[in-house]
Every structure is written in structure tokens, then in C-alpha cells.
Structure 1
Amino acid sequence: MGKKKKLSEDLRQRLVQAHSEGKGYKAIAKQCSVPVATVQSVINKYKRFNTVKNLGGRGRKRTVSTKRAKKICREVSNNPLRKEREQAETKVSRSTIERVLHRGGLHGRRPRKTPLLKKNHLKARLAFARGHIQQDSSFWSTILWSDETKLELFGHMDAE
């Protein structure tokens, strides 16, 4: 069965300190209320690696090297529409390439399309705002506000 919880770095440091003072494993375990095997493993790790910090795991090796990942990101930055995949080192899947690009900060997103406002639209809006800036609240209470405007980005509006 695996470990239940990780010890704090401070506690591990205290275990090593107590061992360097000449205390035994059982005495340290009783004093800090941790199992004897835990004390033993912390001290062995300190003797082997000279640290009580968590070390990185080994994990699976990546199929795409760091150098190749940088090359892929650079190529996609220069030419985003390129469809072919590089076949030099090993064959890699589409999802691997996508993962490499995501790690490199490149995502396949596009900005949302918004209706285009032309200069005459901006002028008309500004003229309306300036013309009605002095109106009081009684005037605006008689206005019927509707948000059912149909906007089409391109093309003609259908007459229904």
C-alpha cells in the first residue's frame, strides 16, 4: 500500500537534525509521532541525495524532444496554415503535435466576429447622442427600448 500523506519539509528537516544529534530511529519516531520506517526512509534519502526536498518523479519520456518542440512552434508561428507534418525523427500523431503547440502557448482560437461599424455609422451614433444629451428623465421614460434588432454580419437582411 502506498503512502497516505506527505510530511512537511520542516518535519523532515527536524528528523534529520535529531538523527545528526545522535538519537535513534525509534526515539525520533516517538518524539515526532511518525512511523519508524518513515524516519528511516527520510534519513536514507538525506544521506543519498543530501536534501529533504521532494524530488521530481521519473515519468514517461516525451516522444518529441525539446529542440524539436521549439522547431515545431517556430514553424507554426511563421506559417499557421501549414498542413504537413515533419517526418524526420519519429512519426508523431496529430494530438502530440497539438500538445506541443499548447505547451508552447499556441492555441487554435480565432477572435469572435463582430458587426463592422463604418465611419458613417459612428458619425450617426455620435450625432444622436449629442442631440439627446440634454433630455430629462421624463423624455426617456416615454421611449420604448427594444433589443430585438436583427443584425447580419454579411449579406442582405431577409424581408419577412
Structure 2
Amino acid sequence: MGKSKEISQDLRKKIVDLHKSGSSLGAISKCQKLPRSSVQTIVSKYKHYGTTQPSYRSARKKPLLQTRHKARLRFATAHGDKDRTFWSNVLWFNETKIELFGHNDHRYVWKKNGEDCKPKNTIPTLTHGGGSIMLWGCFAAGGTGALHKIDGIMRKENYVDILKQHLKTSVMK
């Protein structure tokens, strides 16, 4: 279904005035030669927002650099000129979720018309994704540190416990 023609601001005001004067939505739609649904939408939006101005706006574009990206860039520029001894004392750590059957996202295939259900165009799935595992790990200039399996959902309390238990042993390596 295509986009209908925009209703002018004057006509919107006229519809609201007719409704305020007691005319029914059906009578207004016949009088103005508009679909009843359009008249109803204009009146209900006027009641909700208090104006007959169209409420659509273009979406704000998502910034390419998020806060975490900017923080990484600040860190890199602040510490980029450090010598090897500095970097040999840095321990990097992070957590990650690994899906049992690949990534949990949309997958695309090239297909011809009428080939929707052919095996080469389908991807086998399991209920609830088949499971996943969450891991915490770390590394430094001297090699890898501890790798810890996280049970359940990662919360700040769990993260603090992991740091208390595994960070010290990883630093000693």
C-alpha cells in the first residue's frame, strides 16, 4: 500500500473545528471527502498532542563513535608513546558470550524464485538458540591468564568476585 497524500494544515484545523462544533467523524469525512480513518487519526492526535501539526520527524542518526569507542581512543592517544616496560605491566581482561551454533543474528542467503525451502537456503535452528557459554579471560605481554566460565547472568557482584579470585593469579603468571 502506497503513502497517501499529505493533508494540509488548513484542512486539519477545519476537521478539528468541525469536530469541536459537534459533527460526527462520519459526517466530517463525507463533507471533506476523506476516509473516516484519516479524520479519526487527525482528531485523536489533536486530543493527545493539542496541535494539528504533523508529529513525524526524521530519526536522529546514531553516532559512529560511541562513548566506549571515544574512551578507547583517549586511552590510546594518552598511552601510545609508552615504552615496552609500561606495556609489559598491563593486564587486559574481558568477558564474551559464545553461541553454541554460531552467532545469534540474522543470516542471509542468495536464492532464486521458488527456492525458499530448499535445504541449501535453510539454516537449522534449535529452540532457545541451543545454548551459549559466557567466559571471562585475560592476557598480558607475558602470555595468557586465567579463563573462567561464568554461570548464569553476569552481574556486577559476579564480576567483582571473578576479579578477586582470578585476577591475582593471572597477575602472578
Q: Which has the larger radius of gyration?
A: 1
TM-score over 0.5 for the alignment? Answer: no
Q: Which has the higher strand share?
A: 2
TM-score per shorter chain, which class? 0.3 to 0.5
